[in-house]
């Protein structure tokens, strides 16, 4: 089993109103050292495949079909082998 | 200048309806290999500090005061030194 940690970020040319709002709020709180904020998404996906290439294929398809908008977003997949126990820990605490 | 990449995840004991919905949608698309999905947030914060400890202190405060909900979420900060040019690239493409 593999755990895919997927980072989904807006493409650099796309405006990020959420990031601008967060930046503005942080400036109001006194954090003048912060120059820019870009917000994105993160997905953790547990994939029941023995082979890393198969797991990467599933994660890539999940990004392309559902998780990321190919026009406005980039995605990056980081895979790590995990035991099935680690999955159930994640859902029950 | 430092770029802080902040991963904000729901604590393991907290239910994740967004993750359940994504998992359900992926199953409907035929990805039966996927056993679980947990969704989270990601923030990239450019901090104008020369010292890594100072940058980490700003990023930690930003998480505690605004970005993360300390009751339901965990956060993880990854810092890397960047040049100011890399920031403007990120906003203009």
Judged by CB atoms closer than 8 Å, whether chains meet at B34 and A13 is answered as no
Confirm if B4 and B79 have CB atoms less than 8 A apart.
yes
Q: What per-residue confidence (pLDDT) applies to A92?
A: 45
Q: What per-residue confidence (pLDDT) applies to A34?
A: 97
Judged by CB atoms closer than 8 Å, whether chains meet at B36 and A46 is answered as yes
Residue B93 has pLDDT above 80, yes or no: no
Q: Does B47 touch chain A (CB under 8 A)?
A: yes
Confirm if A54 and B23 have CB atoms less than 8 A apart.
no
Report pTM: 0.88
Which value does ipTM take for this structure? 0.88
The number of helix segments (H) and strand segments (E) in chain A equals 3, 3
**Residues B33-56, buried b or exposed e (16+ Cβ, 10 A)?**
bbbbbbbbbbbbbbbbbeeeeebb
Q: If you measure CA to CA, which chain A residue comes closest to B33?
A: A48
Chain B positions touching A37 (Cβ under 8 A) are 43-46
Distance from CA of B66 to the nearest CA of A (A): 8
Residues B27-83: tens digit of each pLDDT: 999 999 999 999 999 999 999 999 999 999 999 999 999 999 999 999 999 999 998
Backbone angles phi, psi at A11, to 5 degrees: -60, 145
Q: Does A56 touch chain B (CB under 8 A)?
A: no
Q: Which domains does chain A have, with CATH numbers?
A: 2-88 (3.30.1280.10)
């Amino acid at each position: 089993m593999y755990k895919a940690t997927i980072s989904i970020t807006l493409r650099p040319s796309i405006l990020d109103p959420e990031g601008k709002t967060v930046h503005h709020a942080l400036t109001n709180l006194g954090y003048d050292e912060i120059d820019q904020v870009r917000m994105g998404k993160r997905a953790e996906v547990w994939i029941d495949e023995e082979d890393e290439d198969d797991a990467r294929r599933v994660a890539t398809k999940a990004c392309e079909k559902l998780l990321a908008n190919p026009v406005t977003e980039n995605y990056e997949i980081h895979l790590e082998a995990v035991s099935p126990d680690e999955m159930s820990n994640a859902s029950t605490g």
